[in-house]
Structure 1
Amino acid sequence: MKIIFFPLFFLLFQFTVKAQVKPVKFDTKILYKFTYQNDSTSSASRRSVFTQLTIGEQESHFQTLSKFRSDSALALQEGRNMFVYTYGRIEPNNFLIVKRGDVIATYEPVNGIKLDWNNELSYYEEKKGDLQWEMHPDTAHIHDFVCQKATADWGGRKWTAWFTMDIPISDGPYKFCGLPGLVLSISDQDKFFKFDIAYISKVNSVSVTFDQLRPDLALQKTTKESFYKARKNLRNTMAEYALLTGARLSDASKVNIRAEMKTDNNHIERH
């Protein structure tokens, strides 16, 4: 069921700026297979999607391949000037991570809804220097590349990365960067989340800008702490928000929604 949703939880955000990002040229594209488990108690929730890291001289962009295709298609059509919400599990992979200079900027809607049904997008910034790596002498071969091991604590999880100096790009999937070579594989200690390189190629492309996607898009600047607080609040009160927006829910529906949200308990960063 789709219902109009009034964004009460956006009261936590600090201010709104015009949604515009300058075009960026990319020369390298890397695909990673991303395997994740949303419910820590059930391996049946395990899923895999392909993600894309595009790298240019000034910055890199990371997102799922499906989001890239959806955004590219949206840039060719007129956006919908409305805010629609479907109550239930929050889509965890509708993000765009931009690394430029010493900053990692994450663009993501709190409710997880794609931009063709959403006119508000949040973003927060982190410092690349906050990601501290410990180098290890261990080596491994991945796709004929000699890789070295590095570990880091990030987002409440312990991560093990394998990077290669044969590809001198100090970048990798998700927010991971800062090593003296490209990250080819990385996983958390519990093996709930894992990125594995699948493909790398040279390209000549330009990014799709936010103002191209939705001229009416409101870009909300926030902090990482406020973003996760708002998302946690939404998960915990999903049925109540649905009722506030005029949805008619039976007692059984309320129970089912709350039960489903309890299974949405394992996120790539713990906050």
Structure 2
Amino acid sequence: MEKLVLFFIALLLIDTAFAQQIPELAVAKATYNFIHVRDTNNRSKPYEEEMLLMLGKNSSRFTSNVRFKQELEFITGIESQIKANGGSLNGLTIKSNRKRATLNEDYLTFFNENKTALVTRLINYYLVEDSIPQISWEIKKDTANFSGIKCQKATAWFGGRNWIAWFASALPFQAGPWKLNGLPGLIIEAYDDKKDIQFLFAGFEATNISEKDRPQQQLTKGLDIFALANEIKAPNKAIKTTKEELKKLVKASNENPAGFAKAQLSGTPFAQLAELASKTNVVATNTNPAPIINNPIEIK
């Protein structure tokens, strides 16, 4: 319970301002049904989740659409309570709407800067920067239609897997789900040759958002609901780290969640959250053990 209190209060108050001074707005969004055979000893029960690809003119953000909607609903609910209470946190009820575990990693790509950013939330945000992976696609003559979108086939070896991708040249984005990129059109669908990993097309829409729609900060300090919904950016207070160090942090979080949360908040303004939490009603839904993953997306 202590871990949940700290986690949800931190989620409420943590600063989500972003590194780019003027982040790109998403001009379109694509959704995918993600299917992953995480445990090769249990192939009949793959992990499944709806994912979201936010598309800017020169950038993209790939994230859990389930988590995205949950966070937006959570923050909107907090905003409504604070507004109804005259801007006060007194009597605030924090209710988790997380009915299932979701992926907590975001993959951001900034094409003009040849840069990617893996953002992982472990109470604090951690960021691993890298250059955009260069994938040697072989474009085929095969074509197919996905919900009326004409696509062409391409194949490549990447991350230890043989990938098959279907891209739409009519949608002029270099991006795709996860780290897949570099085709002359949006990657609509992709999977490896064993179909252990599948990104199945679920929808595409234009956002019709312009600069005049970029609003000011909302009532909850440091949170901008619009940023969650329409801007492509990574937290400017994210702690830069390496892939190796991030693995150690994930392991520590899985092995001792409560102790990890205390260590993360130590020495920060959130160290005194217990006092606020004692005055706050927290309704938890469930906790989940670390999943068995012996078949990661990227093998090498």
3-state secondary structure, aligned to 1:40: coil
Give me the whole-angstrom Cα distance separating, in 1, the residues matched to 2:253 and 2:299.
Answer: 16
Residues 230 and 170 (structure 1 numbering): CA distance in 2 closer, same or farther, change over 3 Å? same
Out of 131, 134, 137, which is 1:134 matched to? 137
Give me the whole-angstrom Cα distance separating, in 2, the residues matched to 1:50 and 1:207.
Answer: 27
Q: Is the 8 A contact 2:115 2:129 kept in 1?
A: yes
Give me the whole-angstrom Cα distance separating, in 1, the residues matched to 2:259 and 2:116.
Answer: 35
Partner of 1:263: 292
Residues 219 and 264 (structure 1 numbering): CA distance in 2 closer, same or farther, change over 3 Å? same
Residues 106 and 262 (structure 1 numbering): CA distance in 2 closer, same or farther, change over 3 Å? closer
Q: Percent identity?
A: 21
Give me the whole-angstrom Cα distance separating, in 2, the residues matched to 1:94 and 1:207.
Answer: 26
Residues 122 and 136 (structure 1 numbering): CA distance in 2 closer, same or farther, change over 3 Å? same
3-state secondary structure, aligned to 1:160: strand
CA RMSD, aligned part only?
3.8
Deviates more, 1:64-73 or 1:134-143: 134-143
Map 1:65-144 onto structure 2 (within 5 A): 65-76=65-76, 77=78, 91=101, 93-100=103-110, 101=112, 102-110=114-122, 118=123, 120-128=124-132, 130-143=133-146, 144=148
Deviates more, 1:184-193 or 1:170-179: 184-193
Give me the whole-angstrom Cα distance separating, in 1, the residues matched to 2:161 and 2:222.
Answer: 35
Q: Is the 8 A contact 2:16 2:222 kept in 1?
A: yes
Q: Is the 8 A contact 1:142 1:184 kept in 2?
A: no
Q: Is the 8 A contact 2:29 2:52 kept in 1?
A: yes
Give me the whole-angstrom Cα distance separating, in 1, the residues matched to 2:175 and 2:294.
Answer: 28
Map 1:216-227 onto structure 2 (within 5 A): 219-227=238-246
Map 1:7-26 onto structure 2 (within 5 A): 19-21=16-18, 22-26=22-26
1:229 shift after superposition: 4.2
TM-score by length of 1: 0.67
1:167 shift after superposition: 2.1
Partner of 2:190: 186
Residues 56 and 46 (structure 1 numbering): CA distance in 2 closer, same or farther, change over 3 Å? same
Q: For each residue in 1:151-199, what CA deviation from the matched residue of structure 2 results, as whole angstroms up to 9, or x when unmatched? A: 1312x43322222223221111112111111111111233221001121
Residues 226 and 5 (structure 1 numbering): CA distance in 2 closer, same or farther, change over 3 Å? farther
Which runs of 5 or more residues in structure 2 are unaligned? 7-14, 83-88, 90-99, 226-234, 261-288
Residues 261 and 32 (structure 1 numbering): CA distance in 2 closer, same or farther, change over 3 Å? closer
Partner of 2:36: 36
Residues 71 and 140 (structure 1 numbering): CA distance in 2 closer, same or farther, change over 3 Å? same
Give me the whole-angstrom Cα distance separating, in 2, the residues matched to 1:2 and 1:175.
Answer: 36
Partner of 1:250: none
Number of residue equivalences: 225
* Larger relative strand fraction: 1
Give me the whole-angstrom Cα distance separating, in 1, the residues matched to 2:4 and 2:68.
Answer: 25
Q: Is the 8 A contact 1:60 1:98 kept in 2?
A: yes
1:66 shift after superposition: 1.1
Residues 231 and 270 (structure 1 numbering): CA distance in 2 closer, same or farther, change over 3 Å? farther
Give me the whole-angstrom Cα distance separating, in 2, the residues matched to 1:19 and 1:243.
Answer: 23
Q: Amino acid of the residue matched to residue 17 of structure 2?
A: Q
Partner of 1:169: 173
Give me the whole-angstrom Cα distance separating, in 1, the residues matched to 2:105 and 2:186.
Answer: 21
Partner of 1:248: none
Residues 164 and 172 (structure 1 numbering): CA distance in 2 closer, same or farther, change over 3 Å? same
Give me the whole-angstrom Cα distance separating, in 2, the residues matched to 1:213 and 1:74.
Answer: 13
Q: Amino acid of the residue matched to residue 131 of structure 2?
A: K
Partner of 1:113: none
Q: Is the 8 A contact 1:133 1:179 kept in 2?
A: no
TM-score by length of 2: 0.62
